[in-house]
Amino acid sequence: MLFCKKRISNLSFAIVVSVALWSMSSCSSGHDWREHYRNDADSPYGTSIIYRLLDDYFPGQRLEKLSDSLHVQLQNDNTTGTYFYLGPYLWMDSLRVASLLEFVSRGNDAMIIVSDLSPDLLDSISHEYCIDLTYHRDSGFHSGYNEHYFFMDTLAELNFVHPKLKVPNDYVFHFRIRDKNVRYEWDHLPNEIFCEDQDEFASLGTIGDSCVNFAMAKYGKGHFYLHTTPLVFTNFHIVQGPGREYAEKVLSHLKKGPVLWDATKRSFEFPGRNRGFGQSPLKYVLSQPSLAWGWYLLLGMAVLFLLFRAKRRQRMIPVLGKNENTSLEFIETIGRLYFVQSNHRQLALEKMKLFLGFVREHYHLSTRELNDQFKKQLSLKSEVPMPVIEKIFTIYGNIENSKFASENTLVAFHREMDKFYLTCK
């Protein structure tokens, strides 16, 4: 029986190897139509042409590639120039965001051309009372973050805002796979970042009728240039007259100096986004003979694994009991402790922390500054009369500015908060 199993395994392995060799030998010699944005590729959606344009853009100035130690290079005070990133999306951790912000604040510029901008970066540049994109992401709206900021079509019409750059007829760009125009997700910047209370963002270019896809943002002594249509900077569009003209007008916003091309690892597709391949993510894979055979080979290997390696090799993992939330019990215990010790001031301050936490969670308001604008927004969202809110913050201000609070003050503070909780929506 063991001998038979070995013969079956060897035969299966031989079949898999034969299919793999045959599929590799039958790969098509056509163009690679993936959006990979590689600066060393001459494929339609590579970026070798724009890379060469930047290399010759400022005579005598270098085009430097940044490596994986991005944050170290940008934090160096001797590093100057324009940070440049072109790709499908730029997703940065807090360390890289801080390094880039510090680099721009010193008087340098950053041009970021991506479909999906990092919410952390946008929130760091803009006023959070316009829109808090990081909150939307952390609240489970990550996929929804971009669902509101793109439209589906086979083409997009782009133009500039400045009269000297604007053209009478828009620049028209298509998304094409071989000889066919395909529907595509054309991204634009969130309209909320251009709210009336902000003065950082200025619109430089539009996509469609009224959406902004190119903007400048002041930060410190430098500027961010944000563009949400990287597709138009690929080889396929640059080789055409209008595409090169459009790209040169965008690059004209760069100030003379070194250009720091971010060549760190890119991910070519954002999870959950089907960029132009219809409703099925496999449509493009199955349309390419080599990729299709690779997919079938992967499925075949998975079936073989299930047939010959499906035996359980690990003992069953016991089910652990559900974790209990003891946060409320802890808060009640601490409250009783402060009350027994007659530390009414500290108990009032703790109650205020809970109140501000309730406001952030239910009304999504920033509690960094408890000014008149914050109180008006809180009154509007909670539908609690302004006098009640004013009295809460008046008593809180008196308690915070004094070293002692009486029991009567604590009771009055508690009653006003009860009024808020009973009447808020």
What pLDDT, in 10s, does the model give residues 135-173? 444 444 433 344 468 889 999 999 999 999 999 999 999
Q: Which residues of the chain have pLDDT under 70?
A: 1-30, 67-71, 127-148, 197, 265-284, 286-288, 309-316, 323-343
CB 159 within 8 A of CB 171: yes
Q: What is the pLDDT at residue 259?
A: 92
- For 41-59, write each residue's pLDDT tens digit: 888 999 999 998 888 888 8
Residue identified by tokens 């035969």 is 11
Q: What is the pLDDT of residue 287?
A: 59
End-to-end CA distance of the chain: 72
Query: What's the rounded Cα separation, in Å, for the pair 118 and 222?
Result: 19
Q: What is the structure's pLDDT at 305?
A: 81
Dihedral angle over CA of 329, 334, 338, 344, nearest 10: -80
140: left (phi over 0), alpha (psi -120 to 50) or beta: left
Distance CA 224, CA 182 (A): 31
Q: Is 289 helix (H, G, I), strand (E, B) or coil?
A: helix
pTM of this structure: 0.57
Place of tokens 């690679």: 32
What DSSP designation does 169 have? Answer: S
Task: List pLDDT tens digits, range 218-251.
Answer: 999 999 999 999 999 999 999 887 899 999 999 9
Residue indicated by tokens 């030998």:
25
CA-closest candidate to residue 51, choices 231, 173, 233: 233
Nearest to 237 by CA among 40, 56, 43: 43
Cβ atoms within 10 Å, residue 12: 16
What is the rounded distance in angstroms from the CA atom of residue 55 to the CA atom of residue 51? 6
